[in-house]
Amino acid sequence: MSWDDKLLKQAKKIIKLYPQKRSALGPLLHLAQSKDGYISDDSISVISELVGITEVQVKSVSTFYSMYKQEPTGKYLLSVCKSISCEINNSSEVINKVQEFTGLNNNETDEEELFTFEAVECIGACGGAPALQVNYETVEGVTPENAINLCKWLKEIKPDVVVADEMQENFGGIKSFDWAIQDNSGATSTAPGFQTLKTTKVKK
């Protein structure tokens, strides 16, 4: 077992939330992603033992979903939307600029392991198109210039927690609508931020 006690304890807590062990597979994979930045074969072995299915069955699920990365990611996963609403609102330029700045092709990670870039299908922010996500924290109404500013900021500050609201305020534009809830919590890894998974943290 390559997971430490703390992680295993967390995993067992998650498994208890479901009537069947194997139903916890999805969250456990996110947990593995938050640990290593990708789903390692070691983690797959651990999970397979925890939920009582074979390793290849875990592998099958983890490779089916593109949010479970098969290769190590950088500290920040930049996902720029390329679907239709964003495309109409000039997302291709955002994509170009981000790629230019980071020097990355689709699904590549830079040498410092800071950025992983991907152009993705709809992220559900059409009202605020073009939109992008940093570690699944969404920023809407991003101009090509602001996208670069965002990248520069990440590179300079290297925040441990990225918070959607904060990035929206500094680098975003039009929002689809106002959520009216101040949310100071953000993602701490390239897994989406969930409280139960402890992949989220409040930024002080």
Partner 1 sequence: MSEKVNLNVNGIEIESDPNKLLIEACEESGIHIPRFCWHKRLDPVGMCRMCLVEVETPRGKMLVPSCTTEVSDEMVVDTESDVVKKAQEGVLEFLLINHPLDCPICDKAGECPLQDQTMAYGPGESRFVEEKRHFEKPINISEIILLDRERCILCARCTRFSDEISGDPLIEFIQRGNKTEVNTFPNEPFKSYFSGNTVQICPVGALTSTSYRFKARPWDLKSTRSTCNGCSMGCSIELNSSQNKMLRILGVDNDAVNQGWLCDKGRYNFEYLNSNSRLKTPLKKIDNESVEIEIQDVYSELAEVIKDRQTKVNFLLGSNLTNEDYVAFREFSEIISQSEKSFYLNDDKLHPGLFGENVDLAKVDDLNSSDAIVVWAEDLKEKIPVLYLRIRQAVKNGVKLVVFGHTNETLSDIADVFYGKETVSENFEIVKDISKLKEIKDLVIGKNITAILGKSTPHQSDTSVTKLFEFLNSNSNSKVLNAYSKGNTYGAFQTLENVKGLNDFVNDISEENTDLLFIVGADPVGRSVYSNQIKSIIEGLDTVVALDNFNHETSELANFLIPMSSTLGEKEGTFTNIEFRTSRIDKLVPSPGQTVSDWEFITSLMNFAGLTVETNSLESLNKKAYENLDSSLSPVFDNLDKPSNLDGMVNVSKPKISSSDNNSNEAKFFIGEKLYGDSTTERHSDSISLLGSKKYIEVSEGVVEKYNLTSGKCTLIQDELEVTVSYEVNKSFPNDLIYIPTNRRELNKFDFSREIIITPSQVKEALNVN
Is residue 2 involved in binding partner 1 (CB under 8 A)?
no
Q: Is 177 in the site for partner 1 (CB under 8 A)?
A: no
Query: According to CB under 8 A, which one of 11, 15, 25, 44 is a site residue for partner 1?
Result: 44
Helix (H, G, I), strand (E, B) or coil at 81: strand
Q: Which of 9-17, 19-27, 52-60, 143-151 is the region at the interface with partner 1 (rule: CB under 8 A)?
A: 52-60
Q: Does 59 bind partner 1 (CB under 8 A)?
A: yes
Helix (H) or strand (E) holding 115: strand 115-120
Q: Say how far apart CA 23 and CA 151 lie, in whole Å.
A: 37
Q: How far is the CB of 67 from partner 1 (least distance, A)?
A: 12
Q: Are strands 185-187 and 137-139 parallel, antiparallel or unpaired?
A: unpaired
Residues 134-173 touching partner 1, rule: CB under 8 A, are none
Of these, 57, 99, 176, 185, which contacts partner 1 (CB under 8 A)?
Answer: 57
Specify the residue for token string 């194997």. 22
Q: What are phi and psi of 39, to 5 degrees?
A: -95, 100
- Alpha-carbon distance of 175 to 52, in angstroms, equals 44
Quote the least distance from Cβ 73 to partner 1, whole Å: 18
Cβ proximity of 152 and 159 under 8 Å: no
Give residues with Cβ within 8 angstroms of 14, minimum separation 6: 24, 27, 28, 31, 196, 197
Q: Among 53-61, 80-88, 152-160, 183-191, which window interacts with partner 1 (CB under 8 A)?
A: 53-61
- Residue 143 CB, shortest distance to partner 1, in Å, is 33
Binding residues for partner 1, rule: CB under 8 A, are: 41, 44, 53-57, 59-60, 63-66
